[in-house]
Amino acid sequence: MNKFWPIFFMFWPILAIVSFVIAPGMDWWFPGPAMSPLGEQIDNLFYLILVIVAVTFVGTHVALGYVLWRGVDNKDQKAWFSHGSHNLEILWSIAPAGILMFISLYQLDVWMEFRVKTHFPEGTTPVAEVTARQFEWRIRYPAPGKKLMTTPQSDDLYTVNDLHVPFGRPVSIRLRSMDVQHAFFLPELRVKQDAVPGAVIPVWFEASKPGEYDLTCAELCGWGHYKMRGRVFAENESGFEQYLETLQAEQNFDGVTQPEHTGAQIAEYGIEDSQ
Ligand SMILES: [Cu+2]
């Protein structure tokens, strides 16, 4: 029983090391590997911070466990009370400040590329305007072959919760909110950006592989927040163009279908069968 507390405190760093080692392979930290080049850099930053935290956590617990282990064997030794050490205070103030300063400078490039419009990758194309509202994502595309304008155009195309983008190149959306604050969240692509009423925020991303990705709201925006869920379809250029053309055809469809004529009608009225 004497060694209970030293063992107790040594147990946690061992558990922590095991978790840190197996967690990435088990996808405990992220919903699978990053599906965008910038997402991979964001993951690397996360793991860098995780290593710093792990080393600190394990180090302090090992030190604590060691002191307790030694303490139970030296029962006769009188406890030493410290009333503070100026040097130690300076050391453990400067060390974390230095680490934080290092992290803030080290991540600056990724942050600027992600958030600062002038640092977006060259050739980033605006593909759609995404307007969040309680509780859906309204999407406005330009007509096929046209550019996305800041104001709605008569030939714009509209969908809800269905964002199609080409993959393999950087694209951007104009993010808006119609009512309250929402957050545009693509977990697999590591993109998260608040949608703020009154503001139009450009968000860029690049899907590195074709596929279907989650689009969720990451801001508790009301009773129906849980169902504010859309999909992002990353497809090749021709697939994306084809999608816009299909959307356009659907949108321009006036509801009148060509009737099928019977042989008798053709004989009587001379109408040729359109089939
Ligand atoms: Cu929301």
The sheet that has 136-141: what strands, in order across it? 157-160, 136-141, 125-133, 171-177, 201-205
With a cut of 50, which residues of the chain have pLDDT below it? Answer: 273-275
Specify the long-range contacts of residues 63-72, CB closer than 8 Å, at least 24 apart.
64/9, 65/6, 65/7, 65/9, 65/10, 65/13, 66/6, 68/5, 68/6, 68/9, 69/3, 69/6, 69/10, 72/2, 72/3, 72/5, 72/6
Q: How far apart are CA 195 and CA 173, in angstroms?
A: 12
Q: How far apart are CA 141 and CA 158, in angstroms?
A: 6
Residues with beta carbon < 5 A to ion ligand 1?
182, 217, 221, 228
Output the CA 197–ligand 1 centroid distance in Å: 12
Output the CA 37–ligand 1 centroid distance in Å: 26
Q: How far apart are CA 71 and CA 54, in angstroms?
A: 25
Q: Are 214 and 231 in contact (CB under 8 A)?
A: yes
Interval 158-207: pLDDT, tens: 999 999 999 999 999 999 999 999 999 999 999 999 999 999 999 999 99
pLDDT of residue 242: 94
Helix, strand, coil percentages for the chain (3-state, nearest 5): 45, 20, 35
For 150-200, the three-class secondary structure string (H helix, E strand, C coil) is: CCCCCCCEEEECEEEEECCCCEEEEEEECCCCEEEEEHHHCEEEEECCCCC
| C-alpha pair distances (Å), 41 with each of 34, 104, 105, 191, 241 | 9, 15, 15, 12, 30
Output the CA 165–ligand 1 centroid distance in Å: 21
Output the CA 34–ligand 1 centroid distance in Å: 23
The angle that helices 37-73 and 4-26 make with each other, rounded to 10 degrees, is 170
Output the CA 191–ligand 1 centroid distance in Å: 15
pLDDT of residue 1: 54
Interval 254-263: pLDDT, tens: 877 766 666 6
The pTM of the full predicted model, rounded to 2 decimals, is 0.81
pLDDT of residue 275: 45
Kindly list the structural domains of the chain, giving each domain's residue range(s) and its CATH number in brackets, ordered by start. Answer: 4-72+98-114 (no CATH), 121-252 (2.60.40.420)
Strand partners of residue 74? none
Output the CA 217–ligand 1 centroid distance in Å: 5
- Residue 40, phi-psi category: left (phi > 0), alpha (psi -120 to 50), beta (remainder): alpha
pLDDT of residue 262: 65
Output the CA 132–ligand 1 centroid distance in Å: 7
